Amino acid sequence: MKRAVLIMLAASLAMPGCALTLKPVDYSWSYESVLNAGPDGVVKGEPKTIAFNAQELFREETGQPGPVEGKTVRIIRNDAGYYFITSPGFKHVYIFGGKDSALRLWNKVLIDEKGMEKPFFNRRDQGIELVANGKVYLLNKDGIIPEVKK
């Protein structure tokens, strides 16, 4: 028993960097990225901010497979590291968390049943602001933040 404890203690001392934590971290982007899908469906920013295949995103929104070349994706990242993604004509904002070289859907927020015209994002201290169809929405990873009545 003593030998096992000594081995575990020695192993933990040999790897002191494993416990390093840097915080707080602000992952937010000051501005949204407006990216166009290429022939392979991949959107990527210049300077490089993120790259991903948007075909599944458009399939999720429309319910149909189809070409996405030239379609625009609007994306912004909040301070906790969640990505907020939408596109003109979309009904939803998709909120993703990044992990293991993948974007995993955290939440899908319905904004307008008819689709959004010219949506765009802004970063605000309280969350991510979406402006679409003449309305302003404040979002966090869980969806629309209710308006606080004064």
pTM over 0.85: no
Cis peptide before 65 (omega within 30 of 0): no
In a domain, 60, yes or no: yes
Whether 11 is covered by a domain: the verdict is no
Q: Is residue 96 part of a domain?
A: yes
Summarize pLDDT for 4-32 with one digit per residue, the tens: 444 554 555 455 556 788 788 888 988 89
- Placement of tokens 């030239």 in the chain: 70
Task: Assess if residue 3 is contained within a domain.
Answer: no
Residues 53-110 pLDDT 10s: 999 999 999 999 888 999 999 999 999 999 999 999 999 999 999 888 899 999 999 9
Domain count, the chain: 1
Query: 26 lies in which domain range?
Result: 21-144
Instruction: Calculate the CA 98 to chain-centre distance.
Output: 7
Please check whether residue 54 lies inside any domain of the structure.
Answer: yes
Query: Which of 37, 92, 47 has its CA nearest to residue 70?
Result: 37
pLDDT at 138: 97
Contacts of residue 69, Cβ cutoff 8 Å, sequence gap at least 6: 37, 38, 39, 41
